[in-house]
A and B are shown apart, each in its own frame.
Chain A
Amino acid sequence: MKLNLKIWRQENRDSSGKMTDYQLNEVSEHMSFLEMIDLLNETLIQKGERVIEFDHDCREGICGQCGVMINGQAHGPLANTTTCQLHMRSFKDGDTIYIEPFRAASFPILRDLKIDRSGFDRIIQAGGFITTSTGQAPEANSIPISHQIAENAFDSAACIGCGACVATCKNSSAALFTSAKITHMALLPQGKLEAATRVANMISQMDAEGFGHCSNTEACEVECPQAISVLNIARMNYEYNKSMLFKP
């Protein structure tokens, strides 16, 4: 099929960018979205032009590194699907496709479609872990966890850190990402003692990074490739209020 592509090009963090037009004539419906960009890049190399930079690695929907806005939607039109798992059969011959980076003040653009999501790492550093050291952990079965709790914890732990929730949120809030980690840990018996400091520290780091507040639009859940539920945000708020109430 033939496609008209409008792609964001930007030299670096400090420069201003613009949409640029490209045409591709031989796109197969079996290609993944990123393979379509590979094909475009191959044509750019032949023309001697700099290729379009984009982030990706696993190309199987699990590493969280890919992700662009496609026609205004984070990761494109399919529900619960990362950009790398989107295939061209979702588009038709003659379509015009707008491709832009995830946009948020806390995710600066590095070049073209590549962005800086290191704010997420700093939120985890602030408390997104259980304080256990290597080597002398107790026997695993000495901490029974019911099947349902383990499954629920997993639902939250499944976040891949892609940032689509931030990009799609009108406030650029990182609430879904942060709350997923808080919920994962809050459900488990391990690390319970540090639950209050964890939630307080992670939320204050989220604010320090400049992510916006959650105003319950729930757009994040819709765009999340891992179907992380907004109930996580409710849980985060509950944990936060609890930590404030019982502050020593």
Chain B
Amino acid sequence: MRLDAKIPLGPLADKWNNYKQHAKLVNPANRKKLDIIVVGTGLAGASCAASLAEQGYNVKSFCFQDTARRAHSVAAQGGINAAKNYKNDGDSVYRMFYDTIKGGDFRSREANVYRLAECSAALIDQAVSQGVPFAREYGGYLNNRSFGGVQVSRTFYARGQTGQQLLLGAYQALMRQEHLGKVKTYTRHEMLELVVVDGKARGIITRDLLTGKIERYAANAVVLATGGYGKVYYLSTLAMGCNSSAIWRTHKKGALMSGVSWIQFHPTSLPQSGEHQSKLTLMSESLRNDGRIWVPSKADDTRAPKDIPETERDYYLERRYPAFGNLSPRDIASRAAKERIDAGCGVGPMKNSVCLDFSKAISEQGKDKIREKYSNLFSMYEKITGINAYEQPMLISPAAHFTMGGLWVDYQLMTTIPGLFALGEANFADHGANRLGANSLLQACVDGYFIAPYTIPDYLAGELHTVKIDTDHPAFIEAENSVKKQLDQLLNINGHLSADYYHKALGKLLYNKCGLSRSKTSLLSAIKEIKELRASFYQDLKITGDNQVNSELEKAGRVADYLELGELMCYDALTREESCGAHFREEYQTADGEAVRNDRDFCFVSAWEWKGYDQVQELHKEPLIFENVDLTIRSYK
């Protein structure tokens, strides 16, 4: 299989314009005849569905929550990047492109990243016109701030709830189209299978999560905007429902998966406090602007952090990365924390945390100033942990957060199955091996508002003469049967262990062996253990309840997919014999523990092709060609 990224010709800065000028159009009269399925109502899905409906297509929108407004984009806190240069501090499309390419450790496509930066300014305009209440200066103009790893102010924010406000904007646009009859939303519906007819995506099979009814939906194109799969680690910053099922099932139908092992761990999450815990809550990274990060200098120190004197503290980020210190990028800060925790210097009841200390900031700036900046975060911290962080250091630790991997897509965001598009966190594009803060909301929005509305019509223009597919087509029947068969199988295993048990076991295994750092030995043993866990799952799973509302059945299907995906993550990590971005292979590091990238052998995107159960998947390589930037070493020393 030859992977063609279909990058338009011409200079970097002209590629997207060239593409748009030559993209095929669909006559308005024909648009009414075309149906599009959009799975997912996060920023990527809602924006895409609303924008296509505005153009006149018939859109069906699906999500598993009770309303579109609850998609996980709602949880994003920090902000969204855009090269507006409002602060006159030298920002530009090129600079944003460069920061993003470098942030991703030179493992993303130049053309995609440039387009992301290029579309960013219009996105802020779009959101403002929808009424998103971004922060404003006193004079009435938009405010912004700088965010992890960059030197300009390009992050727009709406308090600590940027994702929520952007999502409400997109959701409202979607609701408007629903009212106009151009969108039909199907909430509490989970897509369980893709239907492929003559090699093209032509529909989906869903389960109505209230009635248990299996339903068939046909369309001329299918869009997956189903978010990330960081929840594979069980403990993560993601919502409980986030999962990989939609992309994984299409993977098994022929769509390739890329960069699967590239998973970002966020350094400022609340630590796990016990076995009962179901998720880890993110604390805004902005805390690192004033908080200093440290651990006790000697291992196994049993004193409470506040009793450890200054001279016996190791401010390891300031020590190792004097230039960036506590503001080092996420992958660096997370890994440095793990290194200290593994060395026995972790604090807290489970010895799994590091201190984020505000005592210096409080003594210099006063408690009131700190309260003014972060009071909501301090009270959230107290709500969850019962600890007052004005008086003692916060305890934080890295948590699985964002998946750079996902379905392989070309420049048009189309997967290797014609007619199947993937948007937002569900695709692998744009972030390379590491994501810069505030770039993900942007990618989700830009994919949905500005890119798919050009590329999907370009595809549909070639589909006008395809006969309308009927849901009685054998491909639909077959897909429906396979879904029913799987559900029956899961319901009838009748073993002893819950879906959560397996999810937790898989998560722990991946965290230890394919998490913040990986080695050949750890990955090989993970692959073996995942196989065993999977075998046990199919013998010993227990689901109670019936085939209607049944959260256990929902979970089990997702865990079944995670058990397969987890294995591919390990293979992906195993074949990439280098350290890049979030992927740290212990064998490839410098004497002082820094990542060693290998551009000669690994400057490519890994794309995996499903070969069947218990078969090793086939690796395809899309070479990454850099014409506009030099591949430098990322150094934050």
Contacts of B380 in A (CB 8 A): 61, 85
Whether the pair B498, A157 counts as a contact (CB closer than 8 A) is no
Q: Which of A110, A118, A121, A134 contacts B54 (CB 8 A)?
A: A134
Interface bin, chain B: 35 or more
Whether the pair A89, B386 counts as a contact (CB closer than 8 A) is yes
Mask of A84-106 contacts with B, CB within 8 angstroms, 1/0: 01010100000000000000000
Interface bin, chain A: 35 or more
Given A87-B383, A134-B449, A135-B449, verify A124-B544 contact (CB < 8 Å).
Answer: no
Contacts of B159 in A (CB 8 A): 154
Whether the pair B239, A57 counts as a contact (CB closer than 8 A) is yes
Contacts of B67 in A (CB 8 A): 117-118, 120-121, 161
Can you name the residue of chain A whose Cβ is closest to the Cβ of B211? Answer: A12
Whether the pair B241, A135 counts as a contact (CB closer than 8 A) is no
Can you name the residue of chain A whose Cβ is closest to the Cβ of B136? Answer: A150
Whether the pair A65, B70 counts as a contact (CB closer than 8 A) is yes
Contacts of B230 in A (CB 8 A): none
Given A34-B278, A44-B544, A110-B210, verify A139-B176 contact (CB < 8 Å).
Answer: no
| Nearest CB on B from A62, distance (A) | 5
Whether the pair B172, A124 counts as a contact (CB closer than 8 A) is yes
| Nearest CB on B from A165, distance (A) | 16
| Nearest CB on A from B85, distance (A) | 11
Bound complex: CA A50 to CA B551 (Å): 10
Bound complex: CA A58 to CA B75 (Å): 7
Contacts of B613 in A (CB 8 A): none
Given A30-B273, A51-B551, A87-B383, verify A154-B158 contact (CB < 8 Å).
Answer: yes
| Residue A219 CB within 8 A of the other chain | no
Whether the pair A161, B69 counts as a contact (CB closer than 8 A) is yes
- The binding surface of chain A is classed by DSSP as loop
Whether the pair A137, B131 counts as a contact (CB closer than 8 A) is no
| Residue A208 CB within 8 A of the other chain | no
Contacts of A50 in B (CB 8 A): 544-546, 550
Given A57-B65, A121-B175, A133-B51, 12 further pairs, Cβ under 8 A: A35-B277, A57-B241, A58-B239, A87-B383, A124-B175, A126-B179, A128-B175, A139-B125, A150-B133, A150-B135, A184-B133, A188-B133
Bound complex: CA A65 to CA B74 (Å): 11
Bound complex: CA A188 to CA B172 (Å): 15
| Residue A207 CB within 8 A of the other chain | no
A-B contact count (CB 8 A): 222
| Nearest CB on A from B167, distance (A) | 10
Contacts of B545 in A (CB 8 A): 50-51
Can you name the residue of chain B whose Cβ is closest to the Cβ of A120? Answer: B67
Whether the pair A158, B131 counts as a contact (CB closer than 8 A) is no
Can you name the residue of chain A whose Cβ is closest to the Cβ of B282? Answer: A60
| Nearest CB on B from A43, distance (A) | 10
Contacts of B74 in A (CB 8 A): 58, 62-64
| Residue B321 CB within 8 A of the other chain | no
Whether the pair A129, B175 counts as a contact (CB closer than 8 A) is yes
Contacts of B133 in A (CB 8 A): 150-151, 153-154, 157, 184, 188
| Residue B21 CB within 8 A of the other chain | no
Contacts of B134 in A (CB 8 A): 140, 150
Whether the pair A63, B384 counts as a contact (CB closer than 8 A) is no
Given A57-B240, A59-B239, A137-B128, verify A125-B278 contact (CB < 8 Å).
Answer: no
Whether the pair B138, A60 counts as a contact (CB closer than 8 A) is no
Contacts of A60 in B (CB 8 A): 75, 279, 281-282
| Residue B98 CB within 8 A of the other chain | no
| Residue B500 CB within 8 A of the other chain | yes
Mask of B228-258 contacts with A, CB within 8 angstroms, 1/0: 0000000000011100000000000000000
